[in-house]
Amino acid sequence: MVDKKLGGAGLRGQSAGETALCTVGKTGSGLTYRGYDIKDLAANAQFEEVAYLLLYGKLPTQAELDAYKVRLKGMRKLPDALKVVLEQIPADAHPMDVMRTGCSMLGNLETEATDFSDQLDHIDRMLATFPGIVNYWYNFSHNGIRVETETDADSIAEQFLWTLHNKKPEPLHVDVMHASLVLYAEHEFNASTFAGRVCASTLSDIHSVVTGAIGTLRGPLHGGANEAAMDMIQNWKTADEAEEAMLGMLARKEKIMGFGHAVYRESDPRNAIIKEWSKKLSEQVGDTHLYAVSERCEAVMWREKKLFCNADFFHASAYNFMGIPTKLFTPIFVCSRVSGWTAHAMEQRANNRIIRPSADYTGPESLDFVAIEDRA
């Protein structure tokens, strides 16, 4: 078991508020959304059911789910002014920067009411438009295509793949995307959600909450780890080559992306689920090495450091097998986590006090003021 350093830097192990949305690592490795185990949700629920659970407080009935999906489907059109902005962003921009700009621009065009009475309309609109935003930019900047975002896709999972590849995706890939979006939807006071809650606590608007959260998720120590893991494993053609390279990285004390966690001590329960999907996809595409390389990385990290794969590691190979470009990996996380971020914003707003902790001062004391002409 990994010995976690609690306290000290990074507010590790300290409670920074209350939530009814999620528990992380309560038994060392468990994860629940509003009391439901992630294993049950990932195996049985579509992403829209989970988004509904987080945002509307309960699992939907069939009629409620059908109506919710119709509502989201009707909200997919991108405003022309947003498309104009997306078309200005160069092909070599990072798609997370595109998401951040896209979200912010949407907030300029469709600003939330200051009394938050329309918060759920804006939240559902973000859920509905985010896959189209990133893929409209991607297809325009890379392929010169203005992709249609008002597709016939039945779900957000299908909508992401459809707007990326500009065609109806195959059912297995849609199933994997549902599971992936369910796994990424919510995770208590992780860095991006906490950033969003701090923003919400100032009574700022929902697009500012999400824009700040996107910027926070972007880093390789957080959501960016799925891309970083892919960049790493794609260098290796055999499991033995991967093992040798990893041992070198560990000897040089390099961080290995997709491993370790700030809260879990034994395992990340999302890993086994996405790993299973990655295996299935690997068989489907006739992969000869990427899954084997990934499995060896997992074994080496456990053997050498007792570090386990977090949610991001096997997402890398799974997304790769579905033909998703590596730099679009973290934006998929955004398309999902926007449900958790905004559920937290609503929870914060419902019982708000501005989040403003204290700091331990470590600078100099009682200095004499020096006139500008006398300063060295």
Ligand X SMILES: CC(=O)SCCNC(=O)CCNC(=O)[C@H](O)C(C)(C)COP(=O)(O)OP(=O)(O)OC[C@H]1O[C@@H](n2cnc3c(N)ncnc32)[C@H](O)[C@@H]1OP(=O)(O)O
Residues in touch with ligand X (CB under 6 A): 2, 4-5, 12, 221-223, 225, 255-262, 307, 310-312
194/336 Cα distance (integer angstroms): 16
Residue nearest to ligand X (CB): 260
Residue 311 found at the interface with ligand OAA (CB under 6 A) = yes
State the nearest-atom distance from the C-beta of 122 to ligand X, in Å.
25
What's the CA gap between 119 and 185, in Å, rounded?
18
Is 312 part of the annotated catalytic residue set? yes
DSSP 8-state symbol, 170: P
Residue 75 binds which of ligand OAA, ligand X, none (CB < 5-8 A, kind-dependent): none
**Segment holding 145, helix H or strand E:** none
Contact flags string 259-288 toward ligand OAA, x per CB under 6 A: ---xx-------------------------
The SS3 assignment for 324 reads coil
Of the residues 94, 222, 231, 289, only one is catalytic, namely 222
Number of residues that bind ligand OAA (CB under 6 A): 7
Using CB under 6 A as the binding rule, whether residue 2 contacts ligand OAA is answered as no
Of the pair 153, 210, the CB lying nearest ligand OAA is at 210
Q: Where are the alpha helices (DSSP H) in the chain?
A: 38-44, 47-56, 62-73, 80-88, 95-109, 119-143, 156-165, 171-184, 191-201, 206-217, 225-233, 239-251, 269-285, 290-305, 313-321, 329-350
From candidates 190, 282, 294, 330, binder to ligand OAA by CB under 6 A: 190
When the beta carbons of 177 and 225 are compared against ligand X, the nearer one is 225
Catalytic hit among 261, 287, 315, 344: 261
Q: What's the N-to-C CA distance of the chain in angstroms? A: 53
Q: Three-state SS for 124? A: helix
Helix/strand/coil for 220: coil
Q: Is 122 a catalytic residue?
A: no
Residue 261 annotated as catalytic: yes
Positions annotated as catalytic residues are 222, 261, 312
List contacts with ligand OAA (CB under 6 A).
Answer: 24, 187, 190, 262-263, 310-311
